[in-house]
Amino acid sequence: MESNQLTVPVLIKRKRNGRINIRSGNKVDIVIKSTIWILALLTVMAFFFFDYTGLQWERAITETAYNLKVMFLEPALSHFSFSEAIHQVGITLGLGFLATILGAIIAFFLALMAAENLSKPIVSKIVRMLVAYIRAVPTVLWVLIFAIAAGLGSEAAVLGMLFHSVAYLVKAFSESFEEVNPGIIEALRATGSSWWHIVIHGVVPSTFTYMLSWTFLRFEINFSVAVAMGAAAGAGGIGFELFMASGFYFDLREVGFITYAILAIAVVLEIMSTRLKNRYFSNSANA
């Protein structure tokens, strides 16, 4: 009986010491390695086409080192107080939190329609195509679009982040729903359970930890976007203060302080995310 299984081609070469060297020789590996080498070569070649006219290497390196020293070794506040800095950080966190919570709620219902095991095929395809289009547009561009439509302010920032958050979470949630054990869904259907009963008692308990993890990850992304959009969309927050310190006042010490504040918040969010994952994933594993 002939086997219909696909085999991966390999190149076998016998060394002088008698050992056999087996290495992969399939087309996928060749394409990946070739692409990496071509990109690396183009990157190196790009440095030879830069315009270095008037560039004084010694002066440039010295001034860069001095600016970095002032920025990161001498951080200080000059144009606003420490309490105002905390308030601005709170605004940025609030923008990211609001966009994430609203996005997670909307994405949950859309993901139920996008999941192939919970929805009709035509509905699933339509929702997937719609969110794929939204997700293909960068968050920054969505914010700028709403800044033009609704005017500069926190509303434009929240709407822009909300659009991309919904598309991002719909994909994550729907894939989690599709990984639910089919036996659970079939067992509930066999008992005469309604569609909502299956979702609430079968799908949500099985995917809650994954939805929580994806939602918190999106919150971390929205926080970084809110920092960038503080100036671009006029949303305020610590991002606007960073823009003013770097582009208007050119206060390197204040830029350093704001950078440390943003890094501190990012570290705190990462610690919270890790603890939530360990807590809920361990509980689900023990269950």
Q: What is the pLDDT of residues 9-19, one digit of tens each?
A: 444 444 555 55
**Around Cβ 43, how many Cβ atoms within 10 Å?**
9
Residues in the chain: 287
E strands in the chain: 10-14, 20-24
Mean pLDDT to the nearest integer, 226-255: 84
What percent of the chain lies above the pLDDT cut of 70? 87
Question: What pLDDT sits at residue 102?
Answer: 95
Please say whether the beta carbons of 165 and 107 come within 8 A.
Answer: yes
Mean pLDDT to the nearest integer, 30-56: 87
Question: What pLDDT sits at residue 17?
Answer: 52
pLDDT at 113 over 90: yes
Question: What pLDDT sits at residue 282?
Answer: 57
Question: What pLDDT sits at residue 103?
Answer: 95
Question: What pLDDT sits at residue 5?
Answer: 46
**Stronger pLDDT, 231 or 161, i.e. the higher one:** 161
Please say whether the beta carbons of 146 and 159 come within 8 A.
Answer: yes
Q: What is the pTM of this model?
A: 0.76
- DSSP structure class, residue 200: I
pLDDT at 284 over 70: no
- Give the integer Cα–Cα distance in Å for 191 and 117: 18
Mean pLDDT to the nearest integer, 122-134: 93
pLDDT band at 1 (very low <50, low <70, confident <90, very high): very low
Phi-psi label, residue 237: left if phi above 0, alpha if psi -120 to 50, beta otherwise: left
Mean pLDDT to the nearest integer, 159-172: 92
Question: What pLDDT sits at residue 231?
Answer: 72
pLDDT band at 2 (very low <50, low <70, confident <90, very high): very low
pLDDT at 39 over 90: yes
Computed over every residue of the chain, the mean pLDDT equals 84
Question: What pLDDT sits at residue 280?
Answer: 65
Count Cβ neighbours within 10 Å for each residue of 179-209 and write b for 16 or more, e otherwise: ebeeeebeebeeeebeeeebbeebbeebbeb
Question: What pLDDT sits at residue 253?
Answer: 92
pLDDT at 97 over 90: yes
- Give the integer Cα–Cα distance in Å for 205 and 210: 10
Mean pLDDT to the nearest integer, 202-207: 90
Kindly compute the dihedral angle of the four CA atoms of residues 33, 35, 37, 39, in this order, to the nearest 10 degrees. Answer: -150
Mean pLDDT to the nearest integer, 84-110: 93
